[in-house]
Structure formats: structure tokens, C-alpha cells
């Protein structure tokens, strides 16, 4: 008996993150009739909350900046870091299609990306780039062009904006963080621009100057609107439809009722991972069972992964995640990614025993992994503690604690987690940590930090460590003794910014069933699919870069596009 369809399209995309929207846009530009359905009432997915960095080897932008990349080096670099069960051809497909994808985006959308001198996370490895220029960041975009759609664009993460509402560009981080010349005037102008956006300010908290993930998502949505591609909100997928061994469409919930959509060329699963599904995490991810500490968006519950599994799709590396140390403020929907703070001078991370156990300035992925392993082995790292002194408190942010913001003006939720003491011993008692142990740890750290050295964990030696260090601190931008009271501590947890194991796919982004054979008509990109990076994190942007690249590949495969 044939399925009775309520609507027919050429391509159906499940999810509105960057990978899904780009797949829809490339398909529509090739003449396909396309529909995007989004489970949530907001669009943009985790991509909109992110920094929107994309890791792209061999780009036109890098070449224009004077960096001549080598794709064989990039392949070697990723191959050596990625899990052994990730096929060579998947990594090669990403490396070879990444730059053409970015070129297409630049030519067909208002999004502008710049290559940054942002070192690879493991730049010292074969094929790594210590000078950077593989990580690309988007330039700001005027959200007024989106009309009413900007109101339903997902807010950026609290870790990627100021005061929970003011969007900022990557470059502006340094202006404000290090109080470079003109920083205060820049801040005043930014606040004035935001608050004087009238009459819009009376109906929405949204900053219509879109930056980072909001700029990427907004630019893709603007191009989709120009192509007339609809994006239906609050329409969760219920199941995939398979006929004669081929996926021919999906059933969604529309207005609370089943709605059957036929997809003649293919269905693209781009609905994120299972970040917020506590049951799936408990079953699949013994090192990262806590959904609360994930920075993924609340709608990422693995629906599309389970829908693929119901048709016999294979999965890969379901135990893996984009690990990260996160702050958790009670009442917030997820963890706040901690990136910059750990590398700045005047702080250390310790276990509940008061011991350092890791190079705090390492990339957030390997730091999150180290914290999870420490917790599994010793039971004293969830939470760990970020300890910082009065000088740090005055100069730099520490998660939700802003510099220049008096303690008494902090929110009630932040006050419940921030610990303070006039001495290290007093702070330790507030933390519930052995005062003698913490004092010994700080004393040893201070002795060597005064000379710019860290013989225990080599903080500040790698190119990536220095990326976020304070350039005014010499001889090591990441090290300074903690010697000025009062002293502070915030709990920090092993969390993630999303899961990265998922449906097994091939180099064409086709979902694979039993025996490794493609399931006709079904594609998966982004965190719906097992990442080509395996359990590794080679550089800033290896989440969204591959998501967009394989979204581009999937669209071209479905539509037979050549341009």
C-alpha cells in the first residue's frame, strides 16, 4: 500500500543548523524544491549559539592572507588525530571539499569569512599549522535584513556575548579583554547601538548586529529567503518513511497532527546530536553522562539518530563528544563553555583534593577529556575548581563573573557558586578543599610562575596556549603567581558543546545500513552523523566546518549539481 502524502518536495531537510541550511540552499540553487523543518520554535540550532568558526584547509581566504596550505598536510594532520575506525575516504572528502564549499558560500550568500592566525590545537603534530589560517571566522551581518525572522533566531551562547545580549565579533574579544586603546569608547558605542535600536528594542532583546554563530545562521537564512525556501518551526520529525528499501520521506508533527512529506531526491538529517537526552547519554557515554552540563541546545535529543537506527542504520563512536570544561550557573539550560579564561595569568584549575592535574591552557576538548578521565579514575574532578586571585578578578572575566563588576552586583545564582576568601586557606575552607593541600599547590605553582615556568604541565609553551594568554605578561603570557587577595574559586565541570558520534556515513554523506551499504535517499550531516574527526578536535571550527562541507556534498549528490 503506497503512502498518502500531504506534501511533496524534492529535498527535505530535518534541522536548521548551518549544515542543514547550507544543504537546503545548495539544493535550491540547483533547482530543487526544498523544505526545512525544525523541531524547536527557534531556528539556527547549536550553530547559532556557537562562535561559527570553520576549519577549512586550503581556502582562498588563507591564500589571500599569504598562507599557502597543503591538502596532503591537512589530511595527514586529521588522519593522525582521528579515530582509527573513521575511513580515510571520509577525511579526504572533507579536506578536498571544504575550500570549494567555502568558495560557494562566499559567492552565493552575504556571509563573509576571514582566515585567522589561529593555531591548530595540536600544531606541533605532523601537518599541523602553528601559524593558523585554517580557522575562519564570519564578519558581522546586519540582521535587519531578516525582518521578523530575526526574532526567532536562537540567541548566541552566554559565552559568546556580553551581558547575555550584546553580540561581539572575534576581534572585539581582544579589544575588551585586554583593554586595548579605545576599548571603553568602543563598549559605549556598542551599548548605545543596541539600546537605541528603536522601536525594535521594545519588542525583543535580540541584538540585530549579528556576529559569530548568529551571523552564519542569519546569512544562510537570508539567502534561503531570497530563494523562497520555507523553514517550518515547531514541526518535529516523528519517523522516516521507507518504501522498497528507499527513504522516500518523513512524518512530522504539524499542528499536533501527523503530516507526511514526500522527498523525491532525498532526506537530509541535520538535527544535531543527542546532547540533551539523558537516557541516551547514560547508555552510550559513560564518561559524559550528565546532559545538564552540555552546551548543546535543548532540542538536541537524538530523534533523527534514533529514526535512522529504526531503519537499520549503523552508528559509529556514540561514546564520543566535543568535550569541554564548562561553568554551570543554576537555572541556565546548559553549561557555559570555558575557553579563554583558563589560559590567562593568575588562575589555576584544581581537583577537589586541591591538586593541579592538567595544563589549564590546553584546548577545551582535551581539557574536557582529561577532566572526564580524572573523574572516572579518582572521583574528584566534577566539579573541579578554577581558582583565581584579586588581580585576575579585576582584569579578566571568569565565566559569569565579569571584571569591574562588584561582587555584590553579581546575580543571585552566580553568588551561590562563587567562593571567596582573604587567604588561600580561607578560600579552601569555603570550597570544601583541604587547606594544606591547596596552599601547597598554590605555593609550588607561584614559585615557578614567577619565572614564567610550569615544569609540571608546561602551560604556555604550545602555540595554542599562547593564543589566549595576556601579551603584556612576560616572559610567559599564561603564567603569573596567585598572590593578591582576596582569592576566588568557581566550580567547573567536564561537559561538552555537543555529541559527535552518530549515524555512520560515507564520503558522500549517505547514511550506511547493515553491511556498510548506503540507505538510498537518506543523508546525515553535522552531529547527526559520526564526525570525520573521530574523537579528536584538530582545530577551532572542526564541528561546523565539516557539517557545512558534508551538507554541501550531500546536496550536490542529491541534485547532481556540477556548479
Name the more confident of 429 and 562: 429
User: Does residue 563 register a pLDDT over 50?
Assistant: no
> Quick one: pLDDT at residue 174?
66
Per-chain mean pLDDT for the chain: 94
Average pLDDT over residues 346-366: 97
Residues 6+ apart with CB under 8 A from 127: 70, 72, 73, 74, 75, 76, 77, 78, 80
Name the more confident of 467 and 506: 506
- pLDDT band with cut points at 50, 70 and 90 for residue 104: very high
Q: How many whole angstroms separate alpha carbon 110 and alpha carbon 146?
A: 12
SS3 61: helix
Q: What pLDDT, in 10s, does the model give residues 287-329?
A: 999 999 999 999 999 999 999 999 999 999 999 999 999 999 9
- 188's grid cell: 559605549
Q: What pLDDT, in 10s, does the model give residues 502-540?
A: 999 999 999 999 999 999 999 999 999 999 999 999 999
- pLDDT band with cut points at 50, 70 and 90 for residue 178: low
Query: CA dihedral in degrees (482, 483, 486, 487; nearest 10)?
Result: 20
> Quick one: pLDDT at residue 169?
76
% pLDDT > 90, the chain: 88
Average pLDDT over residues 168-197: 78
Name the more confident of 170 and 23: 23
Residues 6+ apart with CB under 8 A from 428: 354, 421, 434, 435, 437, 438, 439
Q: How many whole angstroms separate alpha carbon 486 and alpha carbon 147?
A: 48
- Residue whose grid cell is 546532559: 291
Determine the number of helices (DSSP H) and then strands (DSSP E) in the chain: 17, 23
Cα–Cα distances in angstroms (integers) from residue 41 to residues 45, 317, 432, in the given order = 10, 30, 42
Q: State the fold for domain 325-496.
A: Flavocytochrome C3; Chain A, domain 1 (3.90.700)
Average pLDDT over residues 171-176: 70
> Quick one: pLDDT at residue 193?
86
Question: Beta partners for 294?
Answer: 496
User: Does residue 1 register a pLDDT over 60?
Assistant: no
Q: What pLDDT, in 10s, does the model give residues 137-161?
A: 999 999 999 999 999 999 888 777 7
Q: Could you count the other beta carbons within 10 Å of the beta carbon of residue 202?
A: 7
In this structure, of 5-9, 195-199, 458-462, 540-544, the range with the lowest mean pLDDT score is: 195-199
Q: How many whole angstroms separate alpha carbon 58 and alpha carbon 70?
A: 6
Q: What pLDDT, in 10s, does the model give residues 190-232?
A: 888 888 889 998 988 888 999 999 999 999 999 999 999 999 9
Average pLDDT over residues 37-66: 96
In this structure, of 174-178, 183-187, 282-286, the range with the lowest mean pLDDT score is: 174-178
- 285's grid cell: 557515554
> Quick one: pLDDT at residue 196?
86
- pLDDT band with cut points at 50, 70 and 90 for residue 189: confident
Average pLDDT over residues 94-110: 98
User: Does residue 562 register a pLDDT over 70?
Assistant: no
Average pLDDT over residues 436-445: 98
Cα–Cα distances in angstroms (integers) from residue 310 to residues 503, 504, 536, in the given order = 11, 14, 28
Per-domain residue ranges of the chain: 325-496
SS3 349: strand
Amino acid at each position: 500500500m503506497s503512502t498518502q502524502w500531504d506534501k511533496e518536495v524534492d529535498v527535505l531537510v530535518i534541522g536548521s543548523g548551518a549544515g542543514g541550511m547550507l544543504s537546503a540552499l545548495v539544493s535550491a540553487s540547483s533547482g530543487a524544491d526544498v523544505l526545512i523543518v525544525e523541531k524547536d520554535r527557534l531556528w539556527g540550532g547549536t550553530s547559532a549559539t556557537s562562535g561559527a568558526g570553520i576549519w577549512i584547509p586550503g581556502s582562498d581566504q588563507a591564500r589571500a592572507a599569504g598562507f599557502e596550505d597543503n591538502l596532503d598536510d591537512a589530511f595527514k594532520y586529521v588522519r593522525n588525530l582521528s579515530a582509527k575506525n573513521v575511513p580515510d575516504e571520509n577525511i579526504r572528502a572533507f579536506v578536498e571539499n571544504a575550500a570549494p564549499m567555502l568558495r560557494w558560500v562566499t559567492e552565493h550568500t552575504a556571509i563573509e569569512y576571514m582566515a585567522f592566525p589561529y593555531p591548530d590545537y595540536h600544531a606541533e603534530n605532523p601537518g599541523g599549522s602553528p601559524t593558523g589560517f585554517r580557522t575562519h571566522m564570519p564578519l558581522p551581518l546586519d540582521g535587519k535584513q531578516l525582518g521578523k525572522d530575526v526574532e526567532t533566531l536562537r540567541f548566541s551562547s552566554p559565552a559568546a556575548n556580553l551581558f547575555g545580549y550584546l553580540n561581539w565579533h572575534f576581534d572585539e574579544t581582544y579589544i575588551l579583554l585586554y583593554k586595548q586603546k579605545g576599548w571603553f569608547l568602543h563598549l559605549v558605542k556598542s551599548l548605545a547601538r543596541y539600546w537605541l535600536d528603536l522601536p525594535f528594542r521594545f519588542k525583543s532583546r535580540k541584538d540585530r548586529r549579528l556576529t559569530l554563530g548568529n551571523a552564519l545562521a542569519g546569512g544562510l537564512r537570508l539567502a534561503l529567503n531570497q530563494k523562497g525556501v520555507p523553514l517550518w518551526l515547531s514541526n518535529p520529525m516523528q519517523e522516516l518513511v521507507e518504501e522498497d528499501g528507499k527513504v522516500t520521506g518523513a512524518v512530522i508533527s504539524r499542528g499536533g497532527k501527523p503530516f507526511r512529506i514526500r522527498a523525491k531526491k532525498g532526506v537530509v538529517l541535520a538535527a544535531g546530536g543527542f546532547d540533551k537526552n539523558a537516557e541516551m547519554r547514560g547508555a552510550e557515554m559513560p564518561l559524559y553522562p550528565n546532559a545538564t552540563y552540555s552546551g548543546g541546545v535543548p532540542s538536541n535529543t537524538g530523534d533523527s539518530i534514533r529514526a535512522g537506527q529504526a531503519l537499520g542504520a549503523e552508528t559509529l563512536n556514540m561514546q564520543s563528544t566535543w568535550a569541554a570544561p564548562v561553568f554551570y550557573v543554576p537555572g541556565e539550560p546548559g553549561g557555559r563553555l570555558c575557553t579563554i579564561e583558563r589560559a590567562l595569568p593568575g588562575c589555576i584549575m584544581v581537583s577537589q583534593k586541591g591538586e593541579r592535574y592538567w595544563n589549564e591552557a590546553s584546548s577545551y576538548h582535551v581539557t574536557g577529556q582529561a577532566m572526564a578521565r580524572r573523574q572516572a579514575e579518582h572521583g574528584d574532578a566534577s566539579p573541579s575548581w578554577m581558582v583565581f586571585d584579586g588581580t585576575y578578578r579585576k582584569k579578566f572575566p571568569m565565566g559569569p563573573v565579569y571584571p569591574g563588576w562588584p561582587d555584590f552586583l553579581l546575580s543571585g545564582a552566580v553568588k551561590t557558586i562563587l567562593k571567596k576568601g582573604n587567604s588561600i586557606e580561607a578560600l579552601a575552607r569555603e570550597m570544601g578543599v583541604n587547606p594544606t593541600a591547596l596552599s601547597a599547590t598554590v605555593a609550588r605553582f607561584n614559585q615557578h610562575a614567577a619565572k614564567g615556568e610550569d615544569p609540571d604541565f608546561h602551560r604556555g609553551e604550545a602555540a595554542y596556549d599562547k593564543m589566549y594568554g595576556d601579551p603584556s605578561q612576560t616572559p610567559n603570557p599564561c603564567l603569573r603567581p596567585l598572590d593578591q587577595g582576596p582569592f576566588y574559586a568557581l566550580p567547573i565541570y567536564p561537559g561538552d558543546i555537543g555529541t559527535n558520534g552518530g549515524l555512520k556515513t560515507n564520503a558522500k554523506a549517505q547514511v550506511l545500513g547493515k553491511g556498510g551499504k548506503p540507505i538510498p535517499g537518506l543523508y546525515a550531516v553535522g552531529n547527526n552523523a559520526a564526525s570525520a574527526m573521530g574523537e579528536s578536535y584538530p582545530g577551532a571550527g572542526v564541528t561546523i566546518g565539516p557539517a557545512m562541507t558534508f551538507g554541501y556534498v550531500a546536496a550536490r549528490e542529491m541534485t547532481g549539481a556540477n556548479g
